[in-house]
Chains A and B, each alone.
Chain A
Amino acid sequence: MDQLQIAQEMNRRLFLRGAGLGLGSMALGSLMGPAAVAGDAAAGTAGLGADAGLPGLPHFAPRAKRVIYLFQSGAPSQLDLLDYKPAIRERRGIDLPDSIRMGQRITTMTSGQKSFPVAPSIFKFAQHGQSGAWISELLPHTAKVVDDLCIIRSMQTDAINHDPAVTFIQTGSQLAGRPSMGAWIAYGLGSMNQDLPTFVVMLSRGRTDQPLYDRLWGSGFLPTRYQGVKLRGGKEPVLYLTNPSGCPPRLRRRQLDDLGELNALRHEEVGDPEILTRVAQYELAYRMQSSVPELTDLASEPKSVLDLYGPDVHKPGSYAANCLLARRLAERGVRFIQLYHMGWDQHGDLPNQIRAQCRDTDQASAALLIDLKQRGLLDDTLIVWGGEFGRTVYSQGALTATNYGRDHHPRCFTVWLAGGGIKPGVVHGETDDFSYNVVKDPVDVFDLNATILHLLGIDHERLTYKFQGREFRLTDIAGKVAKPLLA
C-alpha cells in the first residue's frame, strides 16, 4: 500500500469513526436520543436500523423507496394462474411434442416417465380490467387490481430444483454464500428509520412442507448486520425481544442505566470506540422492545382494513397477517420487507392444492396493494410477487379428468410487479402455446434483480462489495434493466 492509499484509507476511517469518538464526551443521557443514534449511524460499526448506506447511493433518483417482496415459495403454476393457454385444450393428453421440449433437461422426478401428457389447466380464465389481461378464476382478488400490475410472463431461471432456484433468485447464485437481495439493499441504501431493522423477513406456512433456509435472507460475505431480521408470528416477534419474567421494565431500565454508566467509565479508561457503539446498540435494543410490539399490535387497525385482508388476518403468522404487517413496516420506514409463503410445490393433486393456496393468498396480496394505494404509499413502494420457477405443461403422474400434477419448469414462469416506478396494466413477454419456452421479451433472474435495484436508484453494476479480491454484485456478471416495465 503506498503512502496516499494509506492516507485515504485512514481518512476514510477517521471520517467514519469521528462521530463515534465524539460521543465519548457526551453525557450518557444524550445517547438515548435520536440525535446520538444518527451520529452512531455514521460510525459505520452501528447495527441494523442505524446505517446510513454507502456514499454516492442512490446512484440516481429512485422511483421506489422500499420493496415488499411477496415470495411464493415452491413455484406457483403459471399455467393455472396467469399464463392463459387456450390452444392446448385441444391437445389434452397428447405427448409434449419434441419440437417444444427440444431435449431440455427435466428433473429426475419425471425424467423416467414414459410419456409427457399435456395437461391444460382445468380452471377458467377471463379478461379483466382496462388492460384486459387474462387471469384465472383462482385469483378473483388479483383480477380486480390487474390494472395496477405489470405481469411478466417471460421469466426464466437456470435452476430446476428448489434449493438452488430459491437461492439463485434471492442471492444471484445457486450455491450458498452470497448476500441476499435485501442485504445488498440494506448495505447500499441504509436505513430509513431509527428503531426498526432495515430488512425484515416474515414466513407463512402453506399446504405442503417446503423448507426454506436462513441463507435466503443472510448477508453472505457482507457484514452480518445487513442480514434480514425475522419477524415471527406469536408473542415474541423478534428473538429475545421480551424481558424475562421477573424483570419488569423499570428494573430493566435501571440495569441499562448502570450498564451504560459502567461501559462509559470503561471507555474513559481504555479508549476503544467500540464500547460506545455497544452502548448505542443496547439503547436501540431497548427502543425495539417498544417499537416492535407497537408494530405487531393490529388493535389500532379499523375493521374495514382488517376485512380487506380477509379473515386470516386475525391469525398471527398467516400470509394475510404478514401482508398487513408489511404495510405497517412500510409505513415505519423499513426498506426491504420480504414475505415467504410456502406450499406451492404441486407435483400431484395440483387442482385441489392450488385452490387452497390461492384461497390463502389471493385476497391478502390484492389487499396489500389496495391498502398501500389508499395511503399514497404505492407510488414509492415496489411490490414483487412470484416464485422460483414455473411448472410443466405436462402432467407429472396420471392425467385424469379432474386431476394432474406438474413438475418443476425453469424455462418460463410468471411474476408480477406493482407500485413505485412500474408501468401499470401491462403484460410483458410471451410464451409458446405450451407455456414451455419464452418466445418474446425474455426476462431472466438477473434482469429482474437489476430492474428491482434500478427502481431503487441503484445501478446494479455499481453496487459491489470486494471479497476475496473480487468485486461481487447481486447480478454477478449479467443483468439488464427491463426498460419496458418502467413507468
Chain B
Amino acid sequence: MPYRIFVAVGLAAALATRCPGAEPPVDFSRDVLPILSENCFLCHGPDAAARKADLRLDVRESALRADDPIVEPGNSEESELFLRLVTDDVDDKMPPRKSGKTLTPAQVETLARWIDQGAKWGKHWAFETPTRPEPPAVGADLPVRNPIDRFVLARLEREGLKPASEADKTALVRRVTLDLNGVPPTVAEIDAFLADDRPDAYERLVDRLLASPRYGETMATEWLDAARYADTNGYQNDFARTMWPWRDWVVAAFNRNMPFDRFAVEQLAGDKLPGATLSQKVATGFNRNNRTVTEAGSIDEEYRIENAVDRVETTSAVFLGLTMGCARCHDHKYDPITQDEFYEFLGFFNDVNEKGVYTETRGNVPPLIAVPTDAQRDRLASLDAAVAEAEAALKQAESGLDAEQAEWEASTRTRELPAEPADHARRFELAGSLPEGATFRGQGGPNWVDGPTGKALALDGGPGSVVDLGPGGDLKRDEPFAIALWVRPLADGACVSKMDDANGFRGYDVSVTEGGKLTLHLIHAWPADAIKVKTKALLPRNPWARVAVSYDGSGKASGVNMYVDGRPVGTEAEADSLQGDSTTGQPTRIGGRSTGLLLRGELADVRIFSRALAPEEVAAAYERAVLGIARAPEPERTAVGKALLARFFRERVDGSTPPLAERLAALKKEKADFEAAVPTVMIMEDAPEPRPLHPLKRGLYDQPDESVALTAGVPACLPPLPSGVAPDRLALAEWIVAPENPLTARVTVNRVWLRHFGEGLVKSAENFGIQGEPPSNPDLLDWLATEFVRGGWDLKALHRLIVTSATYRQASPVSADLVALDPENRLLARGPRFRLDAETVRDNALAIAGLLSSRLGGPSVKPYQPAGLWEELAGGAGEGPYVQDHGADLYRRSLYVYRKRTVPHPVVATFDAPSREICLVKRARTNTPLQALELLNDVVYVEAARGLAARMLAEGGSAAEDRVVFGFRTAVGRAPNQRERRVLLAGLESRLEAFRADPEAARALIAQGESPAPADVDPVELAAYAATAGVILNLDETITLE
C-alpha cells in the first residue's frame, strides 16, 4: 500500500476511538459520508443540476455503475475514486484545485480502508430510526446513578479519563435550581438542602423544582427562540401584534408537562384536531409567529410564499433538525432532499387562509381568534344575555305598534294640518326635474331617486356632480335668512352654496362636514373674516333628515340657529369674525361649491327665506311635511316616506319604544367595546379552497413551474406518511412524532441535553443532516431518544433523568490539561460550567436583589430601556416611542420583556438573545465589553445592587463580615473563602470611607431605579454596601451556571 500515509496524531491519540495500525471496521455513515459530503457532494451529490460527469457518490448505484465504475469494492488501488485522490496530475486530481477543498491524509486513508473493506454504502445515521442500545458495562468502582452514566463512563474509559467527583451540595442546589427554574436558590433554600440528609434529598429537590411554575417559564425561553416569537411583525414599520396568549400557552404546556408529541401536534395542527378547542387553536400560533409584511407597495404573492417558506424552514429545523430551506432554489447540495420535495413539504403550509401583505395594518392579521380570560368570558356571556333581553323587550313593545300607527294615520286625515311659513324667497323642489335655468354639470343627466315625499336628487360626489342654479341669491352679513332642506348625506359635502373657493371662500354654504355635522359658512375671507357654525352632534343615523339653518342678520355666530327634524340642536362656532361682504359673482349651487366639497348624497325640497324662522315655524313645517305623508294614500307613499312616518309615530306619538331602542344600542355598543378589548391571537386555519402547488423555478414566487403539479408530502429519505391519510398539516404533525421518525426524538433530547450541559451531544443542534456534526456519544443519543419515546415523550421525566445522573452531578472545576484536551467538555469528564442565558442573567440579578416579580403571563412588559432607541431607528413610525412600565412590571421575568424585532431590547440582546426574526435553536454565547458595561451601568443592575445591599443590611446580621457573607451566598450559593472575604471587606471599608467624604454621591447612587430605597438606613452605609453588592453581581461566577 504505497499511498498509505500514517500520521502522528499526537494529542488526539487520547481521544481516538481506535488504535493506530489496527484495522477496525469503517462505518459508512460515521466515517465516510462526512468526508464525501464535505469534499465531493457539491459536484457529485444529490443536486442533479450541479452534478458533474453524471456521477453521484451518495448512492452506491452511481459509483458502481456498469459503465466506468469508480469504485472496485475490496480493492482501493484499482478504484478510480482513490486514485483520483492521490494522483499528482493536477488535471485529474480530486477535489479540483478551484474547489478549495483538500482531503487530509487520514481522510484519504479512511476512504481507502472503506473500499478495501468492501465499500459498503449506508444511510446517514440520522435518517435511520434509532434502535435502543444496551447501556454498556463499566468498572464497578465508577459512579453510576442511571444508564446515562454508563454511556458517558464507557467513553471516558476508552479515552483513559476519569470522571470528576460529585459537586458539593451547595454547588448542586444552585446549579440545578438555576437550570430548571431560571432563578437562584435563596440562602434559606440552600440551608434547607444542606440540612436534608435523606439519601434522596437531591431527587426531592429536583421534583420540587420541576413542579414550580418557574419551570415552565424557564423552558419556554428556548422554545420562543425556536418559534421566532415576538411582539411585533418584524418588517419595515414593525407594528405591534398580540401573540402573548400563545406564549402563555407554551408556558402552561410546559408546566402541565404536556407530552412532547402532543405539544408538537397541537402547535402544528391543533386547528385540525377533531373538535379543536380554543386552547388547541391558540397553540397553532406557533406557525403564525413568523414575520408578516405590512409595507405599502409590497407584492402579495411574494410574501405569501415567504411566509410558507419560513414555516418550512422553522418546522424542519425545530422538529427534524433539517435545513430544508437549502432545497428552495435547487436540490439540496448535501442531504437527499430534492427541490420538488421542498415544495411538497411547503404544500403543508400552502393553503393557510392569509394574505402575504396586509398593507399598513396594525395589530394582528387574520386568521385570528379572540382569547378571553375566564373573567372576560363571563362578562361577555352576561353582555350577550343583556343584549338578547333588550332585543326581546323592544320586539315585545314593537308588536301591535303597526296597528296603532294605522289608527293614528286615519285620525290625522280628519285633523287640520299645522300652518307652515309660505314666504320663502326661493324654492327648489328637486322632485324629478331641475328648476328652470338650472344646469347639471356632471356627465349625463342627474339621477332621481325616491325621497321622503316624492323624487329626490341623487349626487355621486364625482367630478361635476353639482347643479348650477344661475346668478342671484347672495346672503349677507346684515340681512337675516333661513334655509331648510331634506338631506340624506352619504359623505361630507355642500348641500347648497354660493361661494368662490378661489377668493378666500367668499360667500356661504350649508354643508355636512366632519362626518355628519350640519354646518353654515358665511365668509368674506376664510378664516379671518368669517362665521362658521356647526352642530355639536352628528346628523341622526336614520338616513333622511329635514334640516334648517336660521340666521338673524346680527353678524354674530350667536345669531345662527340650527334644527334637525323640526327641533333645535346644539351648535358651536368655529369662526365668529365676519366683518366684510359675503357676496360673490358665483352662482348658487346644489351639491357643491365653486371647486370643492362635492356632496355624495341625496337632496330634496330646498327652501330659502329672506328672514329668520322662529322655532315654532320650523317645527310646524316639519310636522306638516310628515303629516302630509300620513294623509297620502298608501300607494302614493315612497319607501322613504313610510320609514319616516314609522319613525315619527314611534318617537313623537307613541313614545314607548325609543327608550328601549336606546338601551339596546347602548348595550350593543358596550359589548362591541368590550370585545375589542379582548386580546386575539393569530392562528393557523386553511382556506376553503386549496391552492395549486407547483415548484418555483429558482425559488422565485413569480416563476411557478406549472407543468409540474405537486401534492403535499415528506422527503423520500425519511419514512413515508401513513397511507390512506390526507396529506395535510395534521398528517405532517403525526408523522413528525411517529416513533419511527428517526429525527424528532433525537433532535429534541439533544436540545434538552444542550440546555443542561451548554453543548449538545450533536453540536450542530440546528442540523442533523449529513453536514451536521456527528454525535459525540451516538449510543447515548439514541438511548435517550428511544427512552424519551418509550416513556411517552415525558419532558419532565427526561430533565429529571439527566439532572439526577452522576454525569450532571460532577464538579465543574477543570485542570489545564483537561481544558486543553477537551475545551468544550464534549467528553463530560466534568460538570457543566457556562454563562447564563440572557434572560437568566437579568432574572438572577433581580432575584438576588429581592425584586423579581413572580407574576405569570399576560401582556409583555416594557422595563427600563435607554431613551430614544426606538425613535432613532423608526422615528416612531411603527408604534411611537417606547413607553416604559412602572411598578412590578419593571421586575417581571425577562421572557415577558417586550420583543420588538427591529430594535431588540439591549438588556437581552447584549447577552446573545436573538432578534426572533427567524427560527433559532441554539444561541451563541459571547463574552464582550458591552456586557460588562451593561452589568456595571444599566439602571436595572445598579438598582439590583442596591436591593441586594438592603438585604445584606436587613437580613445579613449586624457585623460587616456576616453581611458580606450573606450577600455573597445570596448571589453564588457558597460562602466566600478567607481571601475573598478580605477583598470584599477591604473594598467595603474603602467605599464607606469614600461615601462618608461624599454623602451626595451616596444619595445619588441609592436613588437609582424606581423602587424606593429603605428610609431607615444611613445612605452612606447603604451606598457602600450597594457598591460592594455591585462587585458581587458582576462576578463571573454570579452570571455562570457551574
Provide the residues of chain B in CB contact with A251, threshold 8 Å.
991, 994, 1001, 1027
Flag if A462 contacts B100 (CB, 8 Å): yes
Provide the residues of chain B in CB contact with A3, threshold 8 Å.
9, 12-13, 15-18, 20, 106
Q: Does A193 lie at the interface of the complex (its beta carbon under 8 Å from any beta carbon of B)?
A: no
Closest to B994 in A: A251
Contact with A along B870-885 (1 / 0, CB 8 A): 0011111110000000
Stretch at the interface among A120-128, A278-286, A349-357: A278-286
Which of A439-487 touch B at CB < 8 Å?
462, 466, 468-470
Contact A246 B104, CB 8 Å, known A1-B34, A215-B902: no
Flag if A239 contacts B814 (CB, 8 Å): no
Docked complex Cα distance between A227 and B11 (Å): 35
Contact A2 B31, CB 8 Å, known A47-B930, A175-B918, A215-B915: yes
Interface size on A, residues (CB 8 A): 97
Flag if A270 contacts B833 (CB, 8 Å): yes
Q: Does B1008 lie at the interface of the complex (its beta carbon under 8 Å from any beta carbon of A)?
A: yes
Provide the residues of chain A in CB contact with B774, threshold 8 Å.
1
Flag if A13 contacts B298 (CB, 8 Å): no
Provide the residues of chain B in CB contact with A13, threshold 8 Å.
823-824
Docked complex Cα distance between A213 and B877 (Å): 12
Q: Does A271 lie at the interface of the complex (its beta carbon under 8 Å from any beta carbon of B)?
A: yes
Docked complex Cα distance between A262 and B18 (Å): 43
Provide the residues of chain A in CB contact with B1001, threshold 8 Å.
245-248, 251
Q: Does B66 lie at the interface of the complex (its beta carbon under 8 Å from any beta carbon of A)?
A: no
Q: Does B122 lie at the interface of the complex (its beta carbon under 8 Å from any beta carbon of A)?
A: no
Provide the residues of chain B in CB contact with A406, threshold 8 Å.
none
Which of B776-829 touch A at CB < 8 Å?
812-816, 819-821, 823-824
Stretch at the interface among B208-216, B289-297, B468-476, B659-667: B289-297
Contact with B along A182-222 (1 / 0, CB 8 A): 00000000000000000000010100011111110010000
Stretch at the interface among A86-94, A155-163, A419-427: A155-163
Flag if A14 contacts B820 (CB, 8 Å): yes
Q: Does B1034 lie at the interface of the complex (its beta carbon under 8 Å from any beta carbon of A)?
A: yes
Docked complex Cα distance between A108 and B983 (Å): 67
Q: Does A331 lie at the interface of the complex (its beta carbon under 8 Å from any beta carbon of B)?
A: no
Flag if B814 contacts A270 (CB, 8 Å): yes
Q: Does B990 lie at the interface of the complex (its beta carbon under 8 Å from any beta carbon of A)?
A: yes
Flag if A49 contacts B929 (CB, 8 Å): yes
Closest to B291 in A: A176
Provide the residues of chain A in CB contact with B285, threshold 8 Å.
none
Q: Does A26 lie at the interface of the complex (its beta carbon under 8 Å from any beta carbon of B)?
A: no
Flag if B12 contacts A10 (CB, 8 Å): yes
Flag if A469 contacts B902 (CB, 8 Å): no
Docked complex Cα distance between A129 and B462 (Å): 54
Partner of B816, one of A21, A212, A225, A241: A21
A243 to chain B, nearest CB (A): 6
Contact A163 B927, CB 8 Å, known A175-B918, A205-B875, A469-B323: no
Which of A249-271 touch B at CB < 8 Å?
250-252, 254-255, 258-259, 261-263, 265-266, 269-271
Flag if B1004 contacts A163 (CB, 8 Å): no
Contact with A along B105-128 (1 / 0, CB 8 A): 111001000000000000000000
Docked complex Cα distance between A432 and B642 (Å): 67
Provide the residues of chain B in CB contact with A273, threshold 8 Å.
819, 823
Q: Does A242 lie at the interface of the complex (its beta carbon under 8 Å from any beta carbon of B)?
A: yes
Contact A469 B770, CB 8 Å, known A215-B915, A272-B814, A288-B933: yes
Flag if A176 contacts B1027 (CB, 8 Å): no
Flag if A259 contacts B333 (CB, 8 Å): no
Flag if B297 contacts A176 (CB, 8 Å): no
Flag if A254 contacts B299 (CB, 8 Å): no
Provide the residues of chain A in CB contact with B712, threshold 8 Å.
none
Docked complex Cα distance between A381 and B309 (Å): 40
Partner of B1003, one of A2, A7, A48, A246: A246
Q: Does A274 lie at the interface of the complex (its beta carbon under 8 Å from any beta carbon of B)?
A: yes
Contact A7 B11, CB 8 Å, known A214-B915, A263-B1036, A408-B297: yes
Docked complex Cα distance between A10 and B937 (Å): 38
Flag if B927 contacts A277 (CB, 8 Å): yes
Closest to A269 in B: B813
Q: Does B987 lie at the interface of the complex (its beta carbon under 8 Å from any beta carbon of A)?
A: yes
Flag if B1036 contacts A109 (CB, 8 Å): no
Q: Does B7 lie at the interface of the complex (its beta carbon under 8 Å from any beta carbon of A)?
A: yes
Flag if B12 contacts A210 (CB, 8 Å): no
B109 to chain A, nearest CB (A): 8
Flag if B929 contacts A288 (CB, 8 Å): yes
Docked complex Cα distance between A240 and B1030 (Å): 15
B164 to chain A, nearest CB (A): 11
Provide the residues of chain A in CB contact with B904, threshold 8 Å.
214
Most buried by B among A241, A262, A269, A342: A262
Contact with A along B237-261 (1 / 0, CB 8 A): 1100000000000000000000000
Provide the residues of chain A in CB contact with B772, threshold 8 Å.
469
B925 to chain A, nearest CB (A): 9
Closest to B939 in A: A244
A478 to chain B, nearest CB (A): 12
Flag if A176 contacts B929 (CB, 8 Å): no
Provide the residues of chain A in CB contact with B977, threshold 8 Å.
265
Stretch at the interface among B437-445, B743-751, B761-769, B948-956: B761-769
Provide the residues of chain A in CB contact with B1030, threshold 8 Å.
255
Flag if A271 contacts B815 (CB, 8 Å): yes
Q: Does B596 lie at the interface of the complex (its beta carbon under 8 Å from any beta carbon of A)?
A: no
Contact A468 B766, CB 8 Å, known A47-B930, A239-B866, A281-B932: yes
Docked complex Cα distance between A232 and B915 (Å): 20
Flag if A210 contacts B915 (CB, 8 Å): no
Closest to A273 in B: B819
Flag if B866 contacts A236 (CB, 8 Å): yes
Provide the residues of chain A in CB contact with B317, threshold 8 Å.
468
Provide the residues of chain B in CB contact with A238, threshold 8 Å.
930, 933
Question: Can you offer 23 A-B residue contacts whose CB atoms are under 8 A?
Answer: A7-B12, A47-B930, A160-B297, A161-B297, A163-B295, A211-B238, A214-B904, A214-B915, A215-B917, A224-B928, A239-B930, A246-B1001, A247-B1027, A251-B991, A263-B1036, A266-B1035, A272-B814, A275-B1036, A278-B927, A408-B297, A468-B766, A468-B771, A470-B333
> Closest 3 CB pairs between A and B?
A469-B771, A246-B1005, A7-B12
B residues near A, CB below 8 A? 7, 9-13, 15-18, 20, 31, 34, 100, 104-107, 110, 234-238, 291, 293, 295-300, 306, 317, 323, 326, 333-334, 357, 359, 702, 764, 766-767, 769-774, 812-816, 819-821, 823-824, 833, 835, 866, 868, 872-878, 901-904, 906, 909-910, 912, 915, 917-918, 924, 926-934, 936-939, 942, 977, 979-980, 983-984, 987, 990-991, 994, 998, 1001-1008, 1023, 1027, 1030-1031, 1034-1037, 1042
5 extra A-B contacts, CB within 8 A, seeds A163-B293, A262-B1035: A244-B942, A246-B1023, A272-B814, A282-B936, A469-B772
A residues near B, CB below 8 A? 1-8, 10-11, 13-14, 17, 21, 24, 45-49, 105, 107-110, 160-163, 175-177, 203, 205, 209-215, 218, 223-225, 229-230, 232, 234, 236, 238-248, 250-252, 254-255, 258-259, 261-263, 265-266, 269-275, 277-279, 281-282, 284-285, 288-289, 342, 407-408, 462, 466, 468-470
